[in-house]
Structure 1
Amino acid sequence: MYCIVLYCCAQFNGLAWLFLGVPTSSSLLYKEEFEKMKEKAPENFRLDFAVSREQTNAKGEKMYIQTRMAEYAEELWELLKKDNTYVYMCGLKGMEKGIDEILVPLATKEGN
């Protein structure tokens, strides 16, 4: 399982955004619990799954976390620019390369 959580806090009136990646949907841990959290507080909790062996993007590519995140690249970049945004990543070594491929062009465009 691979996950990335973006967490914007302000006495937690902010946003926690979980990107959760697994090979198959049967590997999704706590799916029901996460969906209940999203249902209870949709303005504070976002949830996106990336199921690599079952989902594809518009180009027909496997759906990895970086593929799912690319769908929200501009929105993620805006969150990352905020001082109160925290990012927690866990997963296989090497997954950060895919994340860099999404975010580095956005940072470069702004001169960062």
Structure 2
Amino acid sequence: MQFNGLAWLFLGVPTSSSLLYKEEFEKMKEKAPENFRLDFAVSREQTNEKGEKMYIQTRMAQYAEELWELLKKDNTFVYMCGLKGMEKGIDEIMVSLAAKDGIDWMEYKRQLKKSEQWNVEVY
């Protein structure tokens, strides 16, 4: 069966030499640009426009509005794994976006977890 959805990978590492499967992911993006998006966050080598280190949540903040629109769909699934601090940063982004729509992010996130659309494995 042909995949018609969108898979969007945010991959964060301290240095670009730590990027695993970079070439493979880039080939996937090249083959199916409408179905696979790829964003790297390299904390010791990249900064955002404010000069802040580029962590996962910093990179995601650049796409915050688009990500929020996706999260409002019932066919969006999030799989987050990595360092625990990342989750707090992502919550901080989503709180204000959800509030614009009159939604309490933490409650909404609980609903996403209950429907198995928000899956987190952090340590």
TM superposition score category, shorter chain reference: 0.7 to 0.9
The counterpart of 1:28, out of the listed 14, 19, 24, is: 19
**Higher RCO (CA < 8 A, seq sep 6+):** 1
Q: Which has the larger radius of gyration?
A: 2
Q: Which runs of 5+ in 2 are unaligned?
A: 103-123
Q: Secondary structure at the match of 2:20?
A: coil
Q: Deviations over 1:2-39 (max 9, x none)?
A: xxxxxxxxx63010000000000000000000000000
Give the deviation of 1:94 after TM superposition: 2.4
Q: Secondary structure at the match of 2:54?
A: coil
Q: Secondary structure at the match of 1:14?
A: coil
In angstroms, what is the RMSD of aligned CA positions? 0.8
Deviates more, 1:90-99 or 1:32-41: 90-99
The 2-side partners of 1:95 and 1:69 are apart by 11
Give the deviation of 1:95 after TM superposition: 1.4
Give the deviation of 1:58 after TM superposition: 0.2
The 2-side partners of 1:93 and 1:64 are apart by 12
The 2-side partners of 1:52 and 1:102 are apart by 18
Q: Secondary structure at the match of 2:84?
A: coil
Say which structure is richer in helix: 2
Q: Deviations over 1:37-71 (max 9, x none)?
A: 00000000000000000000000000000000000
Q: Which runs of 5+ in 1 are unaligned?
A: 1-10
Q: Secondary structure at the match of 1:85?
A: coil
Give the deviation of 1:108 after TM superposition: 1.0
Give the deviation of 1:93 after TM superposition: 1.5
Q: Secondary structure at the match of 2:80?
A: strand
Instruction: Confirm whether residue 54 of structure 1 aligns to residue 45 of structure 2.
Output: yes
Give TM-score scaled by structure 1 length. Answer: 0.88
Aligned sequence identity (%): 93
Give TM-score scaled by structure 2 length. Answer: 0.80
